[in-house]
């Protein structure tokens, strides 16, 4: 089982984004984190909250199902929350609108 930290790091590197660039993109969306926070996520010391992980999946253009799969974060959601997140995120029109709104 691959943990979410490894998936987040791989997704970030696949986008050729430094941690500093991720911090800047998150700040543009009023999500404020430090380098240490991102390191902790990527090392599985902590897990981003729902809003942040959804935003990261947009920034990294990552499949939300893959990020959530087999993670303690996913297991912390109840089934209805998880289904709602997946249904909304798989809607292509929603993704396009969100990208336009957030300029991601």
Print the domain residue range for 50: 4-102
pLDDT in tens, 79-101: 666 666 666 666 666 666 666 66
Query: Is the pTM for the entire model greater than 0.75?
Result: no
* CB within 8 Å of 64: residues ≥ 6 apart: 54, 57, 85, 86, 89, 90
| 73 within 8 A of 51, measured Cβ to Cβ | no
Total tally of structural domains belonging to the chain: 1
CATH number of the structural domain spanning residue 34: 1.10.260.40
| Nearest-10 Cα torsion for 67, 62, 9, 66 | 20
Q: In terms of DSSP H, where are the helices of the chain?
A: 4-14, 19-28, 35-42, 50-59, 64-68, 72-76, 79-90, 92-102
Judged against a pLDDT cut of 70, whether residue 75 lies above it is answered with no
């Amino acid at each position: 089982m691959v943990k979410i930290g490894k998936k987040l790091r791989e997704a970030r590197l696949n986008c050729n984004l430094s941690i500093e660039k991720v911090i800047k993109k998150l700040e543009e969306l009023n999500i404020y984190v430090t380098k240490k926070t991102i390191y902790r996520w990527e090392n599985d010391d902590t897990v981003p909250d729902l809003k942040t992980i959804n935003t990261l999946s947009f920034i990294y253009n990552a499949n939300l199902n893959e990020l959530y799969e087999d993670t303690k974060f996913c297991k912390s959601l109840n089934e209805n929350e998880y289904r709602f997140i997946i249904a909304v995120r798989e809607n292509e029109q929603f993704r396009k609108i969100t990208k336009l709104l957030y300029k991601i």
